[in-house]
């Protein structure tokens, strides 16, 4: 970790707020570099330890069969998407997160599981990697009761009746199988905290169900949903940076947008390997708008070089991605004028 010289993307106080801006020790509004002293390092590694030691999670993000226990206090202030989703699920101010744990499902229309792992790793470590597993592994211990998560959707009453027909025993079973058991350490507070039903909120309108629960995050398919490319055989780091950027746009995480875009440009400056798949992804439906204009410029410039050198796959690319072909034709007069 070195000195940071970029401005924070944290929200500015509203005009009606009269309280002074809160800054760390030895940091003022004119500070351009922050020295990472023990205070910053303690805060940084303390955040990381929440995942490494699997403690205090109050929200589970679901992507396919993967589960990501995370902390709303760290996720929501930096993502307007998650902040809005939690507010809608709770239906009111979120003053005491541990009292109302959430379960949010992230559909592939937003990002795949391996991209989500990179997004969450960034939110805790301020960085992510584009090849191999992330430095943080999100997940519950393997000896946790997997059934508690699966059967919460099937109905706890039926399971309690199977264990014992007595109504009193049934109530005890429901208490013991509280939704707190789907987290690692939250189960320990059951004796002093009434059981809370987890609020389930579908982030995407496309529902999914999974009979398999995987609590250890591994690298999933590196490519767009439905891609046949296996990252272990042919990783596409350029495409991965774009997909992380796209997820940051959809999840409204400004700082990650900056980092992913910079990584994308730096990688493209060294190598155009994977550019064909990246162009296809950049021109996929839904990737329009101002947020994607800069990256589309980059892939367009690389596309011109591909055409000049008649790179293999160029003709197929133009036929399969009409938007890219249209942009190339639109810029043709500019190329001739130059």
The larger pLDDT score, comparing residue 164 to residue 261, is at: 261
| Least-confidence region, from 49-63, 242-256, 324-338 | 324-338
| Least-confidence region, from 220-224, 245-249, 284-288 | 220-224
The confidence score (pLDDT) of residue 16 equals 46
The larger pLDDT score, comparing residue 334 to residue 139, is at: 139
The confidence score (pLDDT) of residue 161 equals 52
In whole angstroms, what is the distance from residue 254 CA to residue 78 CA?
8
The confidence score (pLDDT) of residue 141 equals 56
pLDDT at 215 over 80: no
The confidence score (pLDDT) of residue 48 equals 94
| Least-confidence region, from 199-203, 205-209, 330-334 | 205-209
pLDDT at 142 over 60: no
Most confident of 102-116, 229-243, 285-299: 102-116
Query: Which domains, ranges and CATH numbers included, belong to the chain?
Result: 36-222 (3.30.710.10), 237-337 (no CATH)
Helices (H), 196-292: 237-250, 254-270, 275-282
Model confidence at 320, in pLDDT bands (50, 70, 90)? confident
Q: What is the mean pLDDT of residues 315-329?
A: 78
Would you say the pTM of this structure is higher than 0.75? Answer: no
Q: Is 238 exposed, middle or buried (0-12, 13-18, 19+ CB in 10 A)?
A: buried
- Enter the tokens of residue 143: 């000896």
Select from 138, 128, 114, 64 the least CA-distant residue to 222. 114
| Least-confidence region, from 2-6, 180-184, 214-218, 225-229 | 214-218
Select from 21, 46, 39 the least CA-distant residue to 31. 21
DSSP helix/strand/coil, 102: strand
Most confident of 147-161, 170-184, 200-214, 304-318: 304-318
Most confident of 62-66, 244-248, 286-290: 244-248
pLDDT, the chain, mean: 70
The larger pLDDT score, comparing residue 256 to residue 202, is at: 256
The larger pLDDT score, comparing residue 338 to residue 110, is at: 110
Most confident of 28-42, 241-255, 309-323: 241-255
Model confidence at 92, in pLDDT bands (50, 70, 90)? confident
The confidence score (pLDDT) of residue 81 equals 94
- Whether the Cβ atoms of residue 218 and residue 133 lie closer than 8 Å to each other: yes
Task: Name residue, tokens 């709770």.
Answer: 90
Most confident of 70-74, 202-206, 233-237: 70-74
The confidence score (pLDDT) of residue 25 equals 86
- Enter the tokens of residue 182: 């789907």
Residues 6+ apart with CB under 8 A from 305: 272, 311
């Amino acid at each position: 970790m070195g000195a940071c010289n970029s401005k924070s993307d944290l929200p500015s106080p509203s005009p009606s707020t009269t309280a002074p801006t809160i800054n760390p020790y030895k940091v003022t509004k004119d500070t351009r570099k922050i020295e990472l002293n023990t205070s910053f390092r303690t805060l940084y590694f303390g955040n990381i330890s929440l995942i490494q030691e699997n403690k205090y999670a109050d929200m589970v993000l679901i992507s396919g069969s993967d589960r990501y226990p995370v902390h709303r206090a760290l996720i929501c202030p930096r993502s307007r998407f998650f902040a809005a989703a939690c507010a809608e699920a709770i239906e009111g101010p979120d003053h005491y997160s541990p009292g109302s744990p959430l379960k949010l499902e992230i559909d592939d229309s937003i990002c795949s599981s391996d991209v989500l792992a990179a997004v969450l790793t960034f939110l805790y470590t301020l960085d992510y990697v584009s090849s191999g597993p992330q430095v943080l592994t999100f997940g519950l211990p393997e000896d946790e009761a997997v059934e508690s998560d699966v059967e919460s959707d099937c109905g706890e009453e039926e399971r309690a009746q199977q264990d014992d027909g007595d109504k009193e025993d049934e109530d005890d079973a429901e208490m013991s199988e509280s939704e707190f058991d789907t987290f690692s350490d939250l189960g320990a507070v059951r004796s002093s905290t009434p059981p809370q039903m987890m609020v389930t909120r579908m982030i995407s309108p496309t529902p999914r169900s999974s009979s398999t629960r995987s609590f250890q995050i591994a690298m999933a398919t590196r490519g767009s949903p439905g891609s046949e490319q296996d990252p272990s055989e042919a990783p596409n780091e350029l495409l991965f940076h774009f997909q992380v950027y796209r997820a940051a746009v959809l999840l409204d995480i400004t700082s990650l947008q900056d980092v992913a875009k910079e990584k994308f440009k730096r990688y493209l400056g060294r190598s155009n390997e994977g550019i064909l798949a990246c162009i296809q992804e950049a021109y996929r439906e839904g990737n329009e708008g101002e947020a994607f204009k800069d990256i589309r410029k980059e892939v367009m410039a690389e596309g011109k070089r591909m055409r000049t050198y008649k790179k293999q796959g160029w003709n197929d690319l133009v036929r399969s991605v009409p938007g890219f072909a249209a942009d190339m034709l639109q810029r043709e007069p500019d190329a001739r004028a130059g």
